[in-house]
Structure 1
Amino acid sequence: MLVILISLLSLSRSDISGSNTIRQFFSSLVSLQGIQKNLNMDCLSSTSTDNAYLCFFPQFALANIRTPFFILNSAYDVYQFHHILVPPSSDPGGHWSRCKSDPGGCNATQIATLQGLRSGMLTSLRQFKSKPEAGMFINSCFAHCQSELQDTWFAPNSPSIDNKKIAEVVGDWYFERGAAVEIDCAYPCDSTCRNLIPIDKNGFAGA
């Protein structure tokens, strides 16, 4: 079995200004490194030559992976939030600075935008949710990687959904102990979250 602990599931999306800066970035990356030939062939065969770089994005590549996989992601992934949904170029006036450093500081419009981020991810997941060989844990914490720390993976106060921690759901999937799909309710409902918002050297949330 293959465990995919992925934190960029909804990667290909527009930012708050309407630009898709992340597509432009990865298109340039695929071209610069000449890695198109190494992308999934099934994905490439269903994509136009001009858009071959899309197969670099998980939501397109995963559909062509036949090995069983497990998806671990936050619906409010802070990397996507800070660098894809609200990159610095989309917010030159810094109107999102407070919200990016503390979700409690977001206004109603910003919360609605973040709920759109979550909705987009759940839409991307629909094609995998019904696959019996796929598992997933999608919580509503503001975090990026939740598998590398014991505190978030499996500790007494680790994030959980339906009283199940990440490690327990992954274990259910790996050992085929039944359904292993857990999707959290929308922010701010989850009181078990440990929000992991990166801070830069100046003391501000990563932009």
Structure 2
Amino acid sequence: MVPKGMVDHLLLLIGALLVMNTQFHCEGNDKVDVTILESAVSKGAVCLDGSPPAYQYAKGFGDGAKNWMVYLEGGGWCDSKSDCLKRANEALGSSKKITPNYFGGILSQSRTTNLDFYNWNRVMVRYCDGSSFTGDVEEIDQETNLHRRGARVFNAIVEDLLAKGMKNASNVMLVGNSAGGLATILNCDHFRALVPSASKLKCIADSGFFIRAKDLPGAEERESYYARVVEFHNITRFLPKSCTSKMDPGLCFFPENLVGDIQTPLFLLNSAFDKFQITYKLKPHPADEPQWQNCIQNIGVCSPGQLQIIRDFRTAFLETLQDIGNCSSRGMFINSCYIHDFLWSTARWNGNGSPRLGNKTIAQAIGDWYFERSFVQEIDTKNDYPLNCTDS
């Protein structure tokens, strides 16, 4: 029998890929070819199945020719040999299975919807390691040929992009969604060190602020799951000693314990009602599971008690943000949509489906923050129930 936790994660990954595929295709955005980085293999920088890493690259033009955006794809994690082996047979663990994604949202070449970044060099780093680009295990599993080399994948691709012109970049952004958003937080200062000549370099994490919420249902499983991910991929040495010297390494995979020490300017884009965290990480009592599943699929049928749990999550999320401090270089756009991921969808990025805070869409807020046209720390404190935002 497949463990229930694994089933949950597989369903999540399948659902996320279907949604992303639909979003990219239905918007008619730019199709960009996949680059397989064969040269990375000799450096041990490979996907879970040992295949070379991959990325998609759209060359910049005009006044954006010296500006670069590196986008880290999301897609969950794997915490065991069996879990990672499943991914190794799919696009989230093998470049052999990767097909081109369409570039929309912040990656779009449309000047109308993406005025600030449409003509930048835009790169989507495909996610095939299961560790948010932080794992580094030297040993290869002889029985399964399983590799755990996410940190090497990140370094090899950045090195290749530097040779393609990023070493001479003026403006640079590291961006990511979901597990890629967490990867952006974890790699932000490291990326800054790899691109020292850029005059302006900033990081944007979309839906990557996963909270511990130690007083809410499922806290023990949240903590143990990330501890397993950290241990299985040997992530401890990648994590900052400022955190691991004070607490268990697994807890240092939660952004709340890391963000305060990040020196590079960082923007946090998230919903306080993050659908992924509520759906897959907020687990009430097992006896309530069937009713809870109905609720999280359709907020309109939630009972008062179930809604209270969801509201408690929002409270914990906002309190966690307060605990990380109010740095002047920290940008925020914390909305109340019952959604996970915003940047790759053109409608959510800068269309009718984009939540507005301070009378700005997400695109306007991030553009203003990046180019320092205004201070941006927008948090929706008015809606204490999740909003049914749409993409239309």
**TM-score, normalising length from structure 1?**
0.82
Deviation at 1:113, TM superposition (A): 1.1
Inter-CA distance 146–90: structure 2 relative to 1 (3 Å threshold): farther
| Residue 227 of structure 2 corresponds to residue 30 of structure 1 | no
| Residue 147 of structure 2 corresponds to residue 147 of structure 1 | no
After the TM superposition, which of the residue ranges 14-23 and 106-115 deviates more from structure 2?
14-23
Equivalent position of 2:209 in the other structure: 9
Give the secondary structure class of the aligned counterpart of 1:28. helix
Q: Partners in 1 of 2:324 and 2:271 — Cα distance?
A: 16
Equivalent position of 2:30 in the other structure: none
Give the secondary structure class of the aligned counterpart of 2:258. helix
Deviation at 1:27, TM superposition (A): 0.8
Q: Deviations over 1:132-185 (max 9, x none)?
A: 111100000011101110010011442212321111111111111222011112
Equivalent position of 1:83 in the other structure: 280
5+ residue gaps, structure 2, are 1-200
**TM-score, normalising length from structure 2?**
0.45
After the TM superposition, which of the residue ranges 67-76 and 90-99 deviates more from structure 2?
90-99
Q: Partners in 2 of 1:189 and 1:124 — Cα distance?
A: 18
The answer (yes or no) to whether the contact 2:222–2:281 under 8 Å persists in 1 is yes
The answer (yes or no) to whether the contact 1:14–1:84 under 8 Å persists in 2 is no
**Aligned ranges 1:1-207 → 2 under 5 Å:** 1-14=201-214, 17=217, 19-45=219-245, 47-48=246-247, 51-86=248-283, 90=286, 93-128=289-324, 130-184=326-380, 185-188=382-385, 193-194=389-390
**Greater relative contact order, per chain length (Cα 8 Å cut-off, separation 6+):** 1
The answer (yes or no) to whether the contact 1:75–1:121 under 8 Å persists in 2 is yes
Deviation at 1:98, TM superposition (A): 1.9
Q: Deviations over 1:20-57 (max 9, x none)?
A: 20111111121122110111122223x13xx1221111
> Equivalent pairs: percent with the same residue?
32
Deviation at 1:15, TM superposition (A): 8.1
More strand by share: 2
Inter-CA distance 188–24: structure 2 relative to 1 (3 Å threshold): closer
Query: RMSD value over aligned CA atoms?
Result: 2.3
5+ residue gaps, structure 1, are 196-207
The answer (yes or no) to whether the contact 2:332–2:376 under 8 Å persists in 1 is yes
Q: Which amino acid aligns with 1:109?
A: G
Max radius of gyration: which structure? 2
**How many matched pairs?**
190
The structure 1 segments of at least 4 consecutive aligned residues displaced by more than 3 Å after TM superposition are 14-19, 89-93, 187-191
Q: Partners in 1 of 2:269 and 2:204 — Cα distance?
A: 7
